[in-house]
Chains A and B, each alone.
Chain A
Amino acid sequence: MTLLSGWGRFPVVDSDVLRPRSFAAVGEAVSSGTIARGNGRAYGDAAIGAVRTVAMTGFDRVRSFDPAMGRIRLEAGVLLSDLIDTFGPRGFLPFVVPGTRFVSIGGAIAADVHGKNHHGEGGFGRYVDSLLLRTGQGEVIEASREQNSDAFFATIGGMGLTGIILEATMRLRRVETGWIRERVISASDLDAAMRALEASDDATYSVAWIDCVARGRDLGRSLIYLGEHAGKGELADGVDAFPAGKAPGLSVPVDLPSMALNRSSVRAFNELYYRMGARRAGDSRVVSLYPYFFPLDSIGEWNRIYGKRGFLQHQCVIPEQGARAVLGEILDRVARRGDASFLAVLKKLGQGDGILSFPLPGYTLALDFPVRGDILNFLDEIDRLVVAAGGRLYLAKDARQSRATFAAGYPALQRFNAIRKSLDPAGNIRSKLSQRLFDEV
């Protein structure tokens, strides 16, 4: 048995971990209560099996690549970082990247991850043409929009619960360079931030960093980062068309004491960060894709900064109608509480692609909290606001929402469960997350 946890290091659970070396061995590994695990970057309990966990990162081969179509076939354990480092210099990038590049293809499909372009270009699943799935009852099927389409749409965003993703075929974006032209807008409060995001619908990439310590008149003050892929002509002479991707330079060597992140240290950091950003507002500059898309990847094991007890990320999406009022209420409660971290992100989302995909047209807000005190009760109250507004929580981040919150947020659950049952009548594929939220008990 091995102690497993997600990126948030909460909860920590004992699981039987298998590391198969062949697809046949993957099949043999599946028994009652099994889930696949990629690079372990889901925050909570999504990639921990109810009984056993099948580690998939050993399956890291590219099967084929067609540069004319930008189409690639990969094993599910290939990391996005590998894909970017290998194919970026050849002029191809994934259409969608989340906030870390250290996720596996299988994990990205299972969570239907979104990036800073979801409002216009959709999620990761939109660029998946087909996938090879090992179902809970032992069949290996190819699923696409045309063939086994129920299994396909249930697997996109299905948190690994339709079976084990073995391979996928996806389309890559053709780019001239690995650089992003970035523009920063400063917004003095929440209204201004939402107006700025609204007005940036035609930007390829947009995201807002919110100072969630600021209160009163400053509530919701933000820096909005817009981005476009830069062409070769936008680079200074002598600059490589593709920047070097650095391994994490700095690493958090030990678990910081939980005191390290307190009201005054976060307030001081945020004040400085906002002022420095606001000074740059309006001007536009070309930055490497690595810091633009993956600012935190440059700090190894940044999750340790929250101390040994781990942290929770609360990421909700609120439908556009009425989002302003609910977001204001959430931010006000968080600011009064005072222990949310500097990582608060606001972003517009569009329609989701999978049956259980997280995105819906509206605003998503992501907040980090150290695990301490009455945080679980506090987040339950926030959940009530989210549910009342017709919103829901992102399963890839979740470690603690209730069954009721989940059921209210995902009305397509019944359809998902019906498809899951047809692929896995015995219910072999189960994770700690599915046990917690929707398996029959």
Chain B
Amino acid sequence: MTSRKSAIVLGGSSDIGRAAAHAFAKAGYDLALAGRDMAALEPDAADLRARYNVEVGLHKFDVLDTASFESFVGGLPALPDVVVSIVGLLGVQGNAESDLAHATTIMRSNYEGPALILGLFAEKFLARGSGTLVGVSSVAGDRGRASNYVYGSAKAGFSAFLSGLRARASRGGVHVVTVKPGFVRTKMTEGMKLIGPLTVEAPVVGDAILAAVGNKTDVVYVSGKWRLVMLIIKMLPEAVFKKLKF
């Protein structure tokens, strides 16, 4: 066994998950990648091992299968130092408005699953008295917008959960980071119209997550411009906001 620090990435095959894994491996962390499709994770694991000479384990994890969470956490070979949850589902707002099953999947993928699994890790971390939990939420959770409020409301719930967990866990030596990436060029946003100056590449998010863990940052807007944009959006009176078409 090594005495190196370790991190587990939930949602490891997403572009941001890969970027976070690279950032931590580069910094010398051993890694565990968790996701639904183990075969898809294997090339990423080989990539990390070859590049950074670190240990990389693979674990099956399905964010919708909450019944499996306790055995998932209990089945890990060791409790990691850092847990990063990237899992989420953008979905299609138009469909979610009338298709309850789709809306449910979006809500569960972005709120229920990530909150429950981080909550479970939090108990273990508090028992140990150390650890960092990172939840990737979204600027979309800062205010529900007409164009994506199903996704946004789930992210809002997740952000609120992280905020409360942080307040409680900080007394027990456990730190909680909320990450709000803004627009990121990834598979998830491929084909979407993104606003250039507000858009970052996935590796920038990975580096920001690693830095936030090191610096014990509470809430990270990956691009500082988003903090300002969302501040303005949050301050608009509802009477004005409801007339906006975005």
Q: Residues of A at under 8 Å CB distance from B?
A: 19, 21, 61-65, 72, 86-87, 90
- B190 at interface by CB-CB < 8 Å: yes
Decide if B47 touches A63 in the complex (CB within 8 Å).
Answer: yes
Size bracket, chain B contacts:
10 to 19
Decide if A63 touches B50 in the complex (CB within 8 Å).
Answer: yes
Decide if B187 touches A65 in the complex (CB within 8 Å).
Answer: no
Question: Complex Cα distance A90/B26, Å?
Answer: 12
Q: Which 10 A-B pairs have the closest CB atoms?
A: A65-B50, A61-B47, A62-B50, A62-B47, A86-B51, A62-B51, A64-B50, A61-B43, A63-B46, A64-B46
Decide if A65 touches B43 in the complex (CB within 8 Å).
Answer: no
Q: Residues of B at under 8 Å CB distance from A?
A: 43-44, 46-47, 50-53, 187, 190
Q: Which residue of A lies closest to B48 (CB)?
A: A62
Question: Complex Cα distance A241/B46, Å?
Answer: 27
Residues of chain A contacted by B47 (CB below 8 angstroms): 61-63
Q: Which of A21, A61, A86 contacts B46 (CB 8 A)?
A: A61
User: Looking at chain B's contact residues, is the secondary structure mostly helix, strand, loop, or mixed?
Assistant: helix
Residues of chain B contacted by A61 (CB below 8 angstroms): 43-44, 46-47
Residues of chain A contacted by B51 (CB below 8 angstroms): 62, 65, 86-87
Residues of chain B contacted by A19 (CB below 8 angstroms): 190
Question: Complex Cα distance A86/B44, Å?
Answer: 15
Residues of chain A contacted by B43 (CB below 8 angstroms): 61, 63
Decide if A72 touches B50 in the complex (CB within 8 Å).
Answer: yes
How far, in Å, is B167 (CB) from chain A's closest CB? 37
Residues of chain A contacted by B53 (CB below 8 angstroms): 90
User: Given A62-B46, A65-B50, A86-B51, 16 more contacts at CB 8 Å?
Assistant: A19-B190, A61-B43, A61-B44, A61-B46, A61-B47, A62-B50, A62-B51, A63-B43, A63-B46, A63-B47, A63-B50, A64-B46, A64-B50, A65-B51, A72-B50, A90-B53
Q: Which residue of B lies closest to A89 (CB)?
A: B26
Question: Complex Cα distance A19/B187, Å?
Answer: 10
How far, in Å, is B48 (CB) from chain A's closest CB? 9
Can you report 23 residue pairs joining A to B where beta carbons are below 8 Å apart?
A: A19-B190, A21-B187, A61-B43, A61-B44, A61-B46, A61-B47, A62-B46, A62-B47, A62-B50, A62-B51, A63-B43, A63-B46, A63-B47, A63-B50, A64-B46, A64-B50, A65-B50, A65-B51, A72-B50, A86-B51, A86-B52, A87-B51, A90-B53
